[in-house]
Amino acid sequence: MADLSPFDQPLPVGSDGKLSGGWWGVLALIVTEGSLFGYLLFAYFYLAAQTEQQWPPTGLPDLLLPGINTAILLLSSVCVWTSERCIRKKQTRWAITAMALAIVLGACFIGMQLNEWDKKTYGMTSDLYGSLYFTITGFHLCHVMIGVVILLLLLVWISLGYFDDRRYAAVAIGGVYWHFVDVVWLFVFTSLYIFPYL
């Protein structure tokens, strides 16, 4: 039986957190972007399984700096999460601080990753491993850069006082995208840096 009596409870209007269309949209985006990285890593393992060259050609990768960089990226995720929490507790000033910190950490990751690229003795076109390494980390770095731009926008919007505990969908949406970019890095890191040790 359908209940045809009109609804007498107030309903939220507009973009209300996880009830918003955008939240569902970004989850769908994450599914398709996650697939993209899945296929990238599929290509990596497919070619690695059949290669006759040394893998990676210059020997096992150094783990120290990439490990620190991984920690930096994860820490930035914690900052974004904190920022969203603060907005929902109406502590806008703390939210701004946490978001700014997340952006600084994201920028650090980009800088260290570019430095890592610089140190490589092979390039994108020198051999098969180089093609894979730079394409996969390049795809990820692009995502981090876009993510930092999104975080910058969120910082501006939070500073303009756009959000409070009732309306913060943009922060939730941008935040979950940033978490996704960070989680993907764990897969990339495991495949490119840990896997050769196995």
Partner 1 sequence: MAFSDVTRNLPDDRLDRVPDFGRAPMGSATEAHLAHIWESAPGWRGWLSTVDHKAIGLRYLVTAFIFLLMGGIEALIMRVQLALPDQTLLTPEQYNQLFTMHGVTMIFLYALPILSGFSNYLWPLLLGSRDMAFPRLNALSYWVFLFAGIFMYASFPIGQAPNAGWFNYVPFSGPIYNTGPNIDVFALGMVLLGISTTVGSVNFVVTLFRMRAPGMTINRVPILVWGTLTASVANLLAIPAVSLAFFLLWLDRQIGTHFFDVANGGKPLLWQHLFWIFGHPWVYAIVLPAMGIVSDALPTFCRRPLVGYAAMALATMATMLVGFEVWIHHMFATGLPTVALSIFGAASMVISIPSSVAVFSWIATIWLGRPVFKTPFLFFAGFVILFVIGGLSGVMTAAVSLDWQLNETYFIVAHLHYVLLGINVFPVVGGIYYWFPKFTGRMMNEKMGKWSFWVMFIGFNVGFFPMHIAGLLGMPRRIYTYSSRMGWDTVNMITSIGSFVFAVGLLIFLVNIAISLKRGAWAGANPWDAATLEWSVPSPPPAYNFAVIPIIASRHPLWEDRLDEDNGRSSLTEGYLLTKGRETIGTSPIDARPVTIFKMPEDSYTPFFVGLFVSLLFVGLLLHWWNFAGAMAAAGSIALIIWMWPQKALVQRVFSTARTNGEPHG
What residues from 18 to 37 belong to the interface with partner 1 (CB under 8 A)?
A: 19-21, 24-25, 28-29, 31-33, 35-36
Among 75, 91, 107, 183, binds partner 1 (CB under 8 A): 91
Q: Which of 48, 33, 57 is nearest to 183 (CA)?
A: 33
What residues from 1 to 20 belong to the interface with partner 1 (CB under 8 A)?
A: 1-4, 6-16, 19-20
Contact 73, 109 (CB under 8 A): yes
Nearer to partner 1, 163 or 189 (CB): 163
- Applying CB under 8 A, does 163 fall inside the site for partner 1? yes
- Report the alpha-carbon distance of residue 64 to residue 62 in Å, rounded: 6
- Applying CB under 8 A, does 43 fall inside the site for partner 1? yes
Burial class (CB in 10 A: 0-12, 13-18, 19+), 171: buried
Among 162, 187, 193, 195, binds partner 1 (CB under 8 A): 162
Q: Which of 106, 65, 77, 78 is nearest to 189 (CA)?
A: 65
- Applying CB under 8 A, does 46 fall inside the site for partner 1? yes
DSSP 37-68: HHHHHHHHHHHHHH--S-SSTT-SPP-HHHHH
Among 99, 141, 155, 169, binds partner 1 (CB under 8 A): 169
Q: Give the distance from CA 67 to its chain's centroid.
A: 16
Please state the three-class secondary structure of 147-169 as a single string.
HHHHHHHHHHHHHCCCCCCCCCH
- Applying CB under 8 A, does 121 fall inside the site for partner 1? no
* Sites of contact with partner 1 (CB under 8 A): 1-4, 6-16, 19-21, 24-25, 28-29, 31-33, 35-36, 38-40, 42-43, 46-47, 50-53, 90-93, 95-96, 124-125, 127-128, 131-132, 135, 149, 153, 157, 161-164, 166-167, 169-170
